[in-house]
Chain A
Amino acid sequence: MRFFSYFTPSAPWAFVYMVQQFEYNPTKFLKWAVNFSDLRKAQNRGKLHITPRIKLMLVVAYLAYFASIIMIVSQALWHNAFFAIGGIIFVPFFCISVVYVVTVVLQKTIINPVQNREMLAAIQKLASSKALRIAVLGSYGKTTMKELLVTVISEARKIIATPGNKNILISQVRWVNNSTLGNEDVYVFEYGEAKPGDIAKLAHFSKPEIAIITGIAPAHMDAYPDLDSIVKDFASISSVVDASETYFNNQKLLKDNIKGSAYDIDGLGKWKVSNVSVSITGTDFTLSNGNDRLELRTGLLGMHQIGPITAVVVIAKKLGLSNQQIITGVSKTTPFEHRMHPRQLGGAWIIDDTYNGNVEGMRAGLELLKALSAKRKIYVTPGLVDQGTESENIHKQLGDLIAQAKPDKVVLMQNSVTSHIQAGLSAGNYDGEVTIENNPLEYYTNLEHFLAAGDLVMLQNDWPDSYR
């Protein structure tokens, strides 16, 4: 049925939808298309966002689809029926090729020149601002860090950050152009990396004075050959930001390649962490530097939040915030939707971490699951997408991490990495219950039927239906 979905009239629509999903990256689209994913599932959880570019692409895609069909039918009627039958196979390939070519041509002839003009206007607008600029980059934890900075620093300073997931260059350019920036004290830019060179381009555009690198993990491995290439991309921030103003998560790979101050669960520089307590409603800890002591309480879950909060506290102090302002700001930090976000369902606790898309984030979630007490613990995941050639190893590692967290039950969403996670579970001698769900949407929407009071459920990552 998956194969036949490429021949239905909804196929051109699905092709254009996926181009948009891949942010008009023709190479990613082509890789996806030749993988023969099930087009029936491609739009299960999303809708095509209609723009002038999309309208044009839809028209061209359907013209290609119907033109190829008319050509084949005419062959069948007037010439060689066998040739026509063979030609049917050609329909989706022709359609995919046309969508690919249109994407490339539109990008080069119309989109790029327009975007260049937009970029110039944004650079001029930024140049007129006196605000301090903070860049947040990393494979994971960027949104949390960005929100932490805004919540804490806004206790004393006017601060604004790039909204939502606007972390690619053109979306930041448009944000600058369309925002009424002017009297803020601080701007926070979230940098998204999808391919080598992205960080340098973003840094060149926003020219930050402070940079925070939240962590490194395998992500976008379809574009980066290895972790070294990702860290090299992150390290390019040093061409703009001084080492004294660079903070990074204390991971070996970052420590070996980035010049700056490392933060982790033990603190940052002379700032030391103590009295840590984690619960389903938040995290408490003490941060001290000599006689300077802050008793902090955050609504964020997990010990892995302590390092980033420490970095924010240090930056906030540099910006002149008082201890009370910092304590108040940290107390206002609450979980963000789909990121270690706890909620109750019929007496059960669910930790929604479905926006988590890397193995380090998964590790943090599993450590939290292990630390919390519950009558029954359930761990639900489809695994991780875009892990490239390392996918098998990463998912075996994930299986092993799950085994170490010892949930009572593991629910895996059936896909191409499921067997690797299972192998990791076996290697970790996991002896709990494992169930495989082949309809994630059905499982999530009926979650209440699977849960009871006293259950603790960790939902990590979501797997787009367009992936296999």
Chain B
Amino acid sequence: MKTVAVIFGGRSTEHDVSIVTALASIIKPLELTKQYKVEAIYIAKNGAWYWDEKLKDINLFSSGQIQDFLHKTQPTSVQFDGGMTLVKASGIAGRKTSRKIDVVFPAMHGTYGEDGSLMGLLRMAGVPFVGCDMDASVLAMDKVLAKQVAESSNIPVAKYECIYRDAFARKPADILRIVEKTLTYPLFVKPAHLGSSIGITRVTNVQELQNAIEVACHYDSKVIVEEEVANLIEVTLPILGNDQLKPALLEKPLTKPEDFFDFESKYMHGGKGGKKSGGKGTKGSQGYSELPAQLDAELYKKAEQTGLAVYRELGCNGIARIDMLIDNKTNIVYFNEVNPLPGGLYEHNWRAAGVSSVDLVQTLVRLAEERFQQQQQENTVFSTNYLQQF
């Protein structure tokens, strides 16, 4: 039986979301397959790694007992021995328990997890891992880079400006002037690397703009300011696959531009921040949404094709969710951003698309192994006589 390590938590503002994704949407279905031995690896907010069966219990986290657990438990060592092995003290006569990992299932959102950092580490370790590879994760988690890649492939994006924290701190007035000159209100100000709508503000004047940039700079050294798309229909599309892509259903959050999801409305009130309208709303992991999005067939197809094109151009593998903005009058579909590890894997959407939670995690593990096999066939060693000169 193969061992799959699910890594969650991490030094990220989305630490808590990651715990729910891991325990509810990944570990449980993986265990139900009865095909894998599933190991839970929790990365605490201070960056220490822990490996224990007890970490599979949501009550440990929801009750706050996790702090007591961390206090009493030795962090785990990770051994890179041509693969990846977990090592921890067994508590008996100084002996250690170890477990060789066959596949890693990252369940971390945001910085150090979803942004390519963990993927780089796993590539170095030579262990197959689920989801986007390092380069795609880096692109996906940088909203500016992702838009630049999309633009280079003639995929429409809303007009935007990139601001660096240092530059804004030095010359805020210059930055504000440039933004006002190139973009038209209303604008959205976002930290370039954060997900779950953290630090996002909608602004309609220069004072709000300045405040919003300051807030965003609090979370990130790179900030994106972009124009609001008129006559907006917001849609999102989860996609699965390496070479052969399988889109789930186009989903439309039932919100207006002025009450876009922030973290609070997305996760803290069961998604009730989104306005419920009509009878076709689905209360998924991200609150009320229309699933599938009720668009005319041509527009639906266009949005789906845009999502698939972005997935390919950014080099995504395994799974990702592509967020898009549609101008309902011009029918232009704008790429907005990519989420390389959708919260809860967006399993509600996959289920509606005909993929069960168990099938989803099994497919993702298979895709990880397939990509790893392909990478193993690439030649990374080149023999030369270079050293013999010395």
* A residues at B contact (CB < 8 Å): 346-347, 375-376, 437, 442-443, 446, 448-455
CA A442 to CA B32, docked complex, whole Å: 8
| B32 proximity list for chain A (CB < 8 A) | 442-443, 446, 449-450
CB closest residue in chain B, given A439: B34
Is B12 among interface residues, defined by CB-CB distance under 8 A? no
Minimum CB–CB distance for A441 against chain B, Å: 13
- A347:B356 contact, CB within 8 angstroms: no
Residue of B nearest to A451 (CB): B356
> Is B352 engaged at the interface, CB distance under 8 Å to the other chain?
yes
B359's partner among A443, A448, A452, A453 (CB-CB below 8 A) is A452
A-B contact pairs, 6 of them (CB 8 A): A376-B354, A449-B357, A450-B32, A451-B356, A452-B353, A452-B354
What residues of chain B lie closer than 8 Å to A347, measured between beta carbons?
351-352
B266 to chain A, nearest CB (A): 21
B350 and A452 contacting across the interface, CB-CB below 8 Å: yes
CA distance A376 to B359 in the complex (A): 13
B352 — which chain A residues lie within 8 A by C-beta? 346-347, 452-453
Closest Cβ of chain B: how far from A432's Cβ, in Å? 15
- Of residues A376, A443, A451, which shows the largest number of chain B Cβ atoms within 10 Å of its Cβ? A451
Beta-carbon contact of A454 and B354 below 8 Å: yes
Nearest 10 pairs of A and B residues by beta carbon: A452-B356, A449-B357, A452-B354, A453-B352, A452-B351, A454-B354, A449-B29, A346-B351, A450-B358, A449-B358
CA distance A376 to B354 in the complex (A): 9
Chain B min CB distance to A136 (Å) = 40
- Residues on B with C-beta less than 8 A from A442 are 32
Interface of B is mostly: helix
Is B355's beta carbon under 8 Å from chain A? Answer: yes
Q: How far does the Cβ of B290 sit from chain A's closest Cβ, in whole Å? A: 15
A449 to B358, CA, bound (A): 6
B159 interfacial contact with A, CB 8 Å: no
Given contacts A347-B352, A449-B29, 14 further A-B contacts (CB under 8 A): A375-B354, A376-B354, A437-B34, A443-B32, A446-B28, A448-B357, A450-B32, A451-B351, A451-B356, A452-B350, A452-B355, A452-B359, A453-B351, A453-B352
Interface residues of B in 325-384 (CB under 8 A from A): 348, 350-359
A356 to B32 CA separation, bound complex (whole angstroms): 26
Chain A nearest Cβ from B349, distance in angstroms: 10
User: Which residue on A lies nearest to B347, using beta carbons?
Assistant: A449
Nearest Cβ on chain B to A437's Cβ, whole angstroms: 8
In the assembled complex, the Cα of A442 lies from the Cα of B358 at a distance in Å of: 14
CB distance from A424 to the nearest CB of B (A): 23
Per the bound structure, the CA–CA distance linking A196 and B244 in Å amounts to: 63
Residue of B whose beta carbon sits closest to that of A453: B352
CA distance A448 to B358 in the complex (A): 9
Complex: how many Å from CA A63 to CA B101?
A: 52
Look across to chain A and name the residue whose beta carbon is closest to the beta carbon of B356: A452
Q: Are A449 and B356 in contact, CB atoms less than 8 angstroms apart?
A: yes
In whole angstroms, how far apart are the Cα atoms of A62 and B355 in the complex? 52
Q: How far is the CB of B56 from chain A (nearest CB, A)?
A: 14
CB B12 to nearest CB in A, in angstroms, measures 26
Contact B354 A453 (CB under 8 A): yes
CA of A437 to CA of B358 in the docked complex: distance in angstroms? 14
How far is the CB of B299 from the nearest CB of chain A, in Å? 22
Shortest beta-carbon distance from B31 to chain A in Å: 9
**Minimum distance in angstroms from A413 CB to a CB of chain B:** 13
Output the nearest chain A residue to B350 by Cβ-Cβ distance: A452
Nearest CB in chain B: distance from A375 CB, A: 6
Closest to A436 in B: B34
Asked if A453 contacts B29 (CB within 8 A), the reply is no
Q: Residues of A contacting B358 with CB < 8 Å?
A: 449-450
What's the least CB distance linking A434 to chain B, in Å? 13
- Residue among B350, B352, B354 with the most chain A CB within 10 A? B354
| A275 → B minimal CB distance (Å) | 33
Query: Which chain A positions have C-beta within 8 A of B353?
Result: 452-453
Q: How far is the CA of A443 from the CA of B357 in the complex (A)?
A: 13
Complex Cα distance A448/B348, Å?
A: 11
Q: Which of B350, B351, B355, B358 has the most CB of A within 10 A?
A: B351
Residues on B with C-beta less than 8 A from A346 are 348, 351-352
B350 contacts across to A, CB distance below 8 A: 452
- In the assembled complex, the CB of B26 is this many whole angstroms from the nearest CB of chain A, namely 11
Complex interface: chain A residues within 8 A of B354 (CB): 375-376, 452-455
Inter-chain CA distance A452–B249, complex, in Å, is: 13
- The CA-CA distance from A446 to B31 in the complex, in Å, is 11
Contacts of B28 in A (CB 8 A): 446, 449
Q: Mark B93-135, 1 if CB is under 8 A from A, else 0.
A: 0000000000000000000000000000000000000000000
A437 to B348, CA, bound (A): 25
- Enumerate chain B residues within 8 angstroms of A451, measured Cβ to Cβ: 351, 356
CB-CB nearest in chain B for A438: B34
Bound together, the chains give a CA A453 to CA B356 distance in angstroms of 8
CB distance from B105 to the nearest CB of A (A): 15
Question: Of residues A347, A376, A452, which shows the largest number of chain B Cβ atoms within 10 Å of its Cβ?
Answer: A452
